[in-house]
Amino acid sequence: MVKVDLSGAAQFLTEAGPDYALAEIAHKTLSDRTGLGKEFTGWLELPQRIKDTELPEILKAAELIRSRSKALVVIGIGGSYLGARGAIELLKPIPGENDPKVFFVGNGLSADALSDTLRQLGDMDFDVNVISKSGTTLEPAAAFRIFRVLLEKKYGDKANEHIFATTDAHKGVLKGLADEHGWPAFVVPDDVGGRFSVLSAVGLLPMAVAGIDVAKVIDAAIEEFKALDLRSPENPAWQYAAARQCLYNKGYAVEILGSYEPSFRFMAEWWKQLYGESEGKDAKGIFPASVEFTADLHSMGQFIQSGPRILMESIVRFTHSRDSYVFPFEEADSDGLNYIAGRDMADVCKVAADAVKEAHISGGVPNMVIEVPRRDEEGFASLVCFFEMACAISGYMSGVNPFNQPGVEAYKKNMFRMLGKPGAV
């Protein structure tokens, strides 16, 4: 289980501290399925369900792709994209010798980005995993049409064998196409919203193709959700949810999530969607932003240290570094760095993190630390379960429906009208 350290937030909280009584009610509302959006709480059992149903098929499909292709093109956006990318960049930032390269497309409408990907893909053998619950989202649907044409050019009447769909179990354009052409179709469960779906085939198939041990992820997630059911202020999800709500009520309206691991960057993007879409509604919500330390200390550091005092900071720290680099000693000390000679880079990074924490607290930024042992399958599962659980509790504490996203439709409506989609108004 992750550990949450609120010591750096203590002086900024209200006198009464985090409202654990409210967190307890929110947790009960969630687990009793009595709250707003209760029909989208299937993610709580998702790891066990996947283990009992689709996991063997996901592993089989991943094995087939790994055995015959040099690349997997994953087509999806939002909740049908960010989790897999976050996981792969965190755990497999550089593909191993036998790992296919995973390309992500359909997450925007940039012709330049698409042609850059096509150039990188070159003449590699590839498979496509198209992921869309609705099947009607323009960005992935448009990219899929382009890649279907490419597959037909490359593989002729075998093109359909290179397509794997992840979509609704029963309805939608993509489901219809999958049935018509015989593509293997994995399920985006009805009771799981996109941003909570990373532990379904949505995230697991691309992760498995990238060489991540998804069975390990699922086993760890099953244990993690059990542990997070703890009904006590010792529950890290309560601590994080209640502390951030307490800070929000005191005017800290923006939360920056940071890490000292650059490979965490897309996990932070996943977190931004999870919290932004779940909490930003009814004119309420903490604006989720992200930073990458130490790099951003040289770009955002000034604002964090002494801009408007609206920021709270949450730092994900991996307590054990995977690698070790000891700084060499140099007799002449020509660069003046002998004061760190003999020290491990990971230790220097820890000192830097402590120094940053002290500086930001003294500058008026409440600091929360989320500690996870390692950047591995278990660590990833812990973070996903923790953030999902805390997000739902935090959303219920603030009185919103954490599982809908009506605001996302506004731009789509305008875009479809402006593009002349039949029936759009």
Residues annotated as catalytic are 277, 298, 412
Q: Is 86 an interacting residue with respect to ligand PA5 (CB under 6 A)?
A: no
Q: Is 137 an interacting residue with respect to ligand PA5 (CB under 6 A)?
A: yes
> Stretches 129-137, 145-153, 176-184, 300-308: which one binds ligand PA5 (CB under 6 A)?
129-137
Give the closest residue to 137 by CA, choosing from 79, 185, 183.
Answer: 79
Minimum distance between the CB of residue 330 and ligand PA5, rounded to whole angstroms?
A: 51
Q: Is 85 an interacting residue with respect to ligand PA5 (CB under 6 A)?
A: no
* Choice from 49, 66, 85, 133 touching ligand PA5 (CB under 6 A): 133
- Structural tokens at position 209: 């193709």
- Cite the beta strand spans of 182-304 per DSSP E: 185-187, 254-259, 287-292
Q: Is 195 an interacting residue with respect to ligand PA5 (CB under 6 A)?
A: yes
Q: Is 78 an interacting residue with respect to ligand PA5 (CB under 6 A)?
A: yes
For ligand PA5, give the closer residue by CB, 66 or 133: 133
* Choice from 47, 83, 140, 189 touching ligand PA5 (CB under 6 A): 140
Q: How many residues does the chain have?
A: 425
For ligand PA5, give the closer residue by CB, 172 or 379: 172
The rounded distance, in Å, linking the Cα atoms of 136 and 158 is: 25
Sign, CA torsion 94/100/101/103: negative
3-state secondary structure of 161: helix
The answer to whether the peptide bond before residue 294 is cis (omega within 30 degrees of 0) is yes
Sign, CA torsion 384/184/55/228: positive
The rounded distance, in Å, linking the Cα atoms of 200 and 55 is: 9
> Stretches 71-79, 111-119, 229-237, 363-371: which one binds ligand PA5 (CB under 6 A)?
71-79
Q: Residue 379: enclosing H or E segment and its boundaries?
A: helix 377-398
Restricted to residues 239-298, the positions that interact with ligand PA5 (CB under 6 A) are 277
The rounded distance, in Å, linking the Cα atoms of 124 and 122 is: 6
* Choice from 31, 48, 117, 134 touching ligand PA5 (CB under 6 A): 134
Residue 96 Cα distances to 4, 42, 50, angstroms = 33, 34, 26
Q: Is 132 an interacting residue with respect to ligand PA5 (CB under 6 A)?
A: yes
For ligand PA5, give the closer residue by CB, 10 or 113: 113
Residue 276 Cα distances to 51, 146, 271, 290, angstroms = 29, 31, 8, 12
Q: Is 211 an interacting residue with respect to ligand PA5 (CB under 6 A)?
A: no
Restricted to residues 405-424, the positions that interact with ligand PA5 (CB under 6 A) are 405
Minimum distance between the CB of residue 405 and ligand PA5, rounded to whole angstroms?
A: 6
33, 192 Cβ separation under 8 angstroms: no
Minimum distance between the CB of residue 382 and ligand PA5, rounded to whole angstroms?
A: 22
Q: Is 402 an interacting residue with respect to ligand PA5 (CB under 6 A)?
A: no
Burial of 384 (0-12, 13-18, 19+ CB in 10 A): buried
The rounded distance, in Å, linking the Cα atoms of 83 and 81 is: 6
Give the closest residue to 74 by CA, choosing from 83, 333, 351.
Answer: 83
Q: Is 80 an interacting residue with respect to ligand PA5 (CB under 6 A)?
A: yes
> Stretches 97-105, 134-142, 308-316, 362-370: which one binds ligand PA5 (CB under 6 A)?
134-142
Q: Is 83 an interacting residue with respect to ligand PA5 (CB under 6 A)?
A: no
> Stretches 75-83, 232-240, 302-310, 346-354: which one binds ligand PA5 (CB under 6 A)?
75-83
> Stretches 29-37, 76-84, 118-126, 311-319: which one binds ligand PA5 (CB under 6 A)?
76-84
**Residues binding ligand PA5 (CB under 6 A):** 77-80, 132-134, 137, 140, 193-195, 277, 405
